[in-house]
Structure 1
Amino acid sequence: MRPQTIQIFLPAGDPRGMRVAEITTRIVRVIEVPRSQLADFLKLPEAQQVGVYFLIGELSATGLPRAYIGQSGNVGTRLVQHNQNKDFWNRALVVISLTNSMTQTHALFLEWFAIAEATKAGRYSLENGNTGFQPYTPAPLQADCHEIHETAAILLATLGQPVFEPLTNNPSTSDGQAKPSELFYCKGPEANGVGEYTSEGFVVHKGSTARIGNVASIQGTSQKRFREQLVTDGVLRQQGQNYVFTRDYLCSSPSMAAIAVLGRSANGWLEWKTEQGQTLDGAKRQALPSST
């Protein structure tokens, strides 16, 4: 990652309405279109261009936001069709070229690559029926596509839709090699959680085990309902005498992550510890310089 300057334009002055995002030195633009403002988007010249689009909507049965990735030689026309036959979405994010230089070949490759990368990231439940196949794309066009995708990924995340970003940290060293993540552990009766502290919250890793039962003190509370929802969504699945996390799961705080693992009220800053036994509090909060 490197510093970026991103410009977001509000055509109607409404921060929750249509938004247009660009990296100032690149030729890719992402237009976020609320479904209720589709008619306004259709008036723009960009609506007639070749583009790749992302339909974002309500949660799926697995608790993940639903998404559909597509492409079209005329994105406006295609969105009108989806407005008539797809119910789940409430916002569309459209990727186009400022120079109108994106071809159908670019769009087909970008659609295939975006579906593969979004599937790998696992943040969204894709409504695409299949991953498709890699279209024949000459090497120079593939290079263009990878640059377009990189820019689009940054802009989508900036607009609140990190479709391609993995939940877990994967920082790189100056030589481009990935550094191992700093792991924390939360252990209790019939529970053994592993996770990491990220800029978004705390991620409990796939394969972590959690206690099945809840202590009496959280019966009837939001904490118990939270754990029940994890089971309903398939995040926690019973395996023998434990629950097992079926995927990496982002919790809003270290404490919610600890509650999910331990089945009781917990201060995650103290429950999550390094392999050497240092608490998350000591490793992250107390390590900051004092203000005095």
Structure 2
Amino acid sequence: MSPVVGRSLELYYIDGRPDGMVTAELFNWTGHVLLFPRTQLSAALARSEASYAGVYLLLGDQNGEPFAYIGEGEDIGARIRQHDVRKEWWTSAVLVTASANKLNKAHVRYLEARLIAHAKAIGHTPLDNLTAPVLPILSEADIAKMEAFLENLLIVLPAVRVDMFIQRARSHRPTAPATPGRTIADPQTISAGGTRFVLEARKHGLRASAVLTDGEFVVEAGSMGRREWTGLDHHTYASLYAELRRSGVLTEQGAHCVFTQDYAFRSPSAAAAVVNGRASNGQIDWRTADGGLTYKDWEARQVAAPEGTA
């Protein structure tokens, strides 16, 4: 197996403010990403790259949920001026171009179609796009170039706080379809190399399992969760719970919900909140499956153990 190779990313805050215009570029990549708030639309469209061929994302929210539009054009600045400036819901935008304006119409149509398909497959953010464009016909060489361009773009976008293309559903192991009464996966099917944790909420009849593997806290398919969010509506994880319900990761089965697939959370507390349907301390709620240690105590042991003995 080839060793993991890091990537060098350069962010440039144009006006010196983290909430203003920012550009992002990867070393040895011809792509260029510009993120800007709508309040700086005129300044952004006055930049040279705004007249290039490329794709663009309009980002905002509608009815309290994240919302986005993905478009393309041979002059993306003109495209936004002529059409999408009339969309009232968006609050920020991303322009994706290439140095020296190297992308052509077919290239950007291909990127637009691939991004729309990718966003819909993940399901984090509903799109304002009414149709799914068909991939244009490209040569084998051009397809390879655009797929490589897209791979790099999907690395850059999260760095500028665009996470709608991050796939957190995981397939660490084969899983059987979730059925009533099946609360956690058979231990024999758990992927090797990870520590297993269990969360039980007997009052509500919940049981969930998770694996900490490769730096990710992955709740396993078949785990149970609350049927609805009972915590504060404005809590950070309320929107995450709603997103997982909307995308089908968490679906109703009887009096509870069930995870239909493995899902990687950013923290044990985020996972516990979705399972419990309210704000929860995952450091305490999750316990090791073999010894019953809280995640907090288990983590403390890992930190205290000499390197190579944890």
Unaligned runs of 5+ in 1: 172-178
Q: 1:269 aligns with which of 265, 283, 295?
A: 283
For the pair 1:165 / 2:178, whether they are aligned, the reply is no
Which residue number in structure 1 is paired with residue 255 of structure 2?
A: 241
- 1:48 aligns with 51
Contact 1:27 1:98 in 2 (8 A): yes
The answer on 1:107 being equivalent to 2:120 is no
1:140 is paired with a residue whose SS is helix
Give, as a single letter, the amino acid of the residue that structure 2 aligns with 1:187: E
Normalised by the length of structure 2, the TM-score is 0.73
* Structure 2 contact 171–261 (Cα < 8 Å) conserved: no
Q: What amino acid does structure 2 have at the position aligned with 1:115? A: I
Correspondent of 2:224 among 202, 205, 209? 209
For the residues of structure 2 that align with 1:164 and 1:264, how far apart are their CA atoms?
A: 26
Residue of structure 1 equivalent to 2:14: 11
Instruction: Work out whether 1:192 is the aligned partner of 2:207.
Output: yes
Matched, 1:130 2:144: no
Counterparts in 2 of 1:80-95, with a 5 A limit?
Answer: 80-95=81-96
Matched-pair contact (CA < 8 Å) for 2:170–2:262: no
Asked if structure 1 preserves the Cα contact closer than 8 Å seen for 2:219 and 2:263, the reply is yes
Would the aligned equivalents of 1:170 and 1:181 in 2 still touch at CA under 8 Å?
no
| Shift, 1:20, TM fit | 0.9
Q: Cα offset for 1:35?
A: 0.9
- Under a length normalisation based on structure 1, what TM-score does the superposition of the two structures give? 0.77
> What 5-or-longer segments of structure 2 have no aligned partner?
173-190
2:268 to 254, 257, 274: 254
Contact 1:181 1:196 in 2 (8 A): no
* 1:38 alignment partner, one of 41, 47, 60: 41
Mapped contact 2:269–2:280 kept (Cα < 8 A): yes
> How far apart, in 2, do the equivalents of 1:19 and 1:264 lie?
35
Is the Cα contact below 8 Å between 2:97 and 2:103 reproduced in 1? yes
Judged with a 3 Å threshold, the aligned counterparts in structure 2 of structure 1 residues 2 and 102 are, in CA distance, closer, same or farther, namely same
Name the CA distance, whole Å, in 2 between partners of 1:275 and 1:11: 49
- Mark the CA change 1:222 to 1:133 in structure 2 (over 3 Å): closer, same or farther: same
The alignment's C-alpha RMSD in Å is 3.7
8 A Cα contact 2:241 2:277, kept in partner:
no
Between the aligned partners of 2:93 and 2:100, the Cα distance in structure 1 is: 21
How far residue 120 of structure 1 moved from its aligned partner, in angstroms, is 2.6
